[in-house]
Amino acid sequence: MALILAAGYSSRMCEFKPLMTIDDKPVIAWAVDSFREAGITDIRVVVGYQADKLLPVLYNLNVTPVMNYNFPAGMFSSVQAGLRTFAAEAEAFFLLPGDMPMIEKSALDKIRAVFCRNEYQVVIPSFQSRRGHPPLIGKGCFDRILGCDVSANLRSVLQEFADQTCVVETADQGILLDMDTPEDYRTLLKYSLYNKIPAPY
């Protein structure tokens, strides 16, 4: 299970990040394809701001959109909105901000393997000892996340599970690369040229 967050305003970018392109493919499609390449078939994308523009792309990608009408409340509201749609049946889920499109299959495979072999509730990837995304969050965290006020911070909530958390070193710099600003976007464009083979869209 994978949950991608794409409901925010993209305020620092001044463009709607999910529909910006890398190699002529929308950023949101790169994020979806990262999970598909790792064999994850249930992928849900939380939408809010400019949902009318994003929904046709998501339908074309054959992923499940989740509408967060409360998206102005912040990212945690989107986590809760998405989690509510699968909390009853899922054992764990990857959580990825939609502006982090360059996650490698090898990183996802390693995170999932560590989670499956152990009794951790949270597995977080790192690159050169810097923590990144996406964490894999287990069922033992679901009630706590859903029970928090919408103003909560996910990092603080997961810190409550520190004794059940594993940080896994990966070889994937993409787990650190987001695109909050135009400069970040230019960095991702360069990274894609040298580190990622574009998948068909």
- Give the residue extent of every domain in the chain: 2-195
- Looking at residue 197, what is its pLDDT? 45
CA 60 to chain CA mean position, Å: 19
| pLDDT, mean of residues 139-163 | 97
Q: What is the pLDDT of residues 76-120, one digit of tens each?
A: 999 999 999 999 999 999 999 999 999 999 999 999 999 999 889
Q: How far apart are CA 57 and CA 40, in angstroms?
A: 19
Q: How many beta carbons lie within 10 A of that of residue 139, not counting itself?
A: 14
The C-alpha torsion from 65 through 68 and 69 to 71, rounded to 10°, is -130
Considering the domain 2-195, what is its CATH architecture?
A: Alpha-Beta Complex (3.90)
Per-residue confidence at 199, pLDDT binned at 50, 70, 90? very low
CA nearest 30: which of 193, 192, 194, 185?
192
Q: Who's near 72: CB < 8 A, 6+ residues apart?
A: 48
